[in-house]
Amino acid sequence: MSAININYPAGGRSDNEIFISNVKTLREGVLVGTARLPFASTEKPVVIYGQTLASGDIEYRTVSAQCPHQGADISRDELNDDGNVYCSLHRRPICIYSEYNQAYLTEKRGDGYVIVKS
Ligand code: FES
């Protein structure tokens, strides 16, 4: 599980719960799947990051697997201690747990994962 030094509330907002399909573990604390994120017209690859909180609970956050700059796949890039993933193509940060993150709070329900209404 990722251990980072900062943690701001999830900044992404969703009017509905969104089920994430085809979820599989990529590496410890990082899962991939597909979902139709808010403002998207189709289902696309997403990355789910898990972080162990001080309480021992695991908090999951989901972002698009496609970099907002030019669409590179960020799923193999590491989550850094500053709460960002730096896209391997042009090194732009994608916020997951940092101040301006647009990650969606996600819950594990049974064997599935759901972006929660927020
Ligand atoms: S495609 Fe990710 S930084 Fe350019």
| Contact of 46 with 55, CB cutoff 8 Å | no
Overall domain count for the chain: 1
Q: What's the CA-to-centroid distance between 55 and ligand 1, angstroms?
A: 35
Which protein residue has the closest C-alpha to ligand 1 atom 3? Answer: 90
For residue 102, tell me if it sits in a domain.
yes
Is it the case that residue 2 has pLDDT exceeding 70?
A: no
Confidence of residue 87 (pLDDT cuts 50, 70, 90): very high
For residue 8, tell me if it sits in a domain.
no
Longest pairwise C-alpha distance within the chain? 37
Rounded average pLDDT over 22-34 = 96
Mutate to test the pocket of ligand 1, among 47, 64, 69 (most ligand atoms within 8 A of CB): 69
Ligand 1 neighbour 70 (Cβ under 6 A)? yes
Task: Give the C-alpha separation, 74 to 55, whole Å.
Answer: 29
Give the CATH number of the domain where residue 24 resides: 2.102.10
What is the tens place of the pLDDT at every residue in 45-63?
Answer: 999 999 988 888 999 999 9
Ligand 1 neighbour 13 (Cβ under 6 A)? no
- Host domain of residue 26: 18-115
Q: Which long-range contacts (CB under 8 A, 24 or more apart) does 82-87 make?
A: 82/4, 82/5, 82/6, 83/4, 83/5, 83/6, 83/7, 83/8
Q: What's the CA-to-centroid distance between 50 and ligand 1, angstroms?
A: 23
Confidence of residue 6 (pLDDT cuts 50, 70, 90): confident
Q: What is the pLDDT of residue 5?
A: 66
Is it the case that residue 37 has pLDDT exceeding 60?
A: yes
| Contact of 66 with 87, CB cutoff 8 Å | no
Of residues 26, 102, 92, the one with CA closest to residue 62: 102
Q: What is the pLDDT of residue 14?
A: 96
For residue 92, tell me if it sits in a domain.
yes
Which protein residue has the closest C-alpha to ligand 1 atom 1? Answer: 70
Rounded average pLDDT over 24-35 = 96
Which DSSP letter does residue 54 get? Answer: T
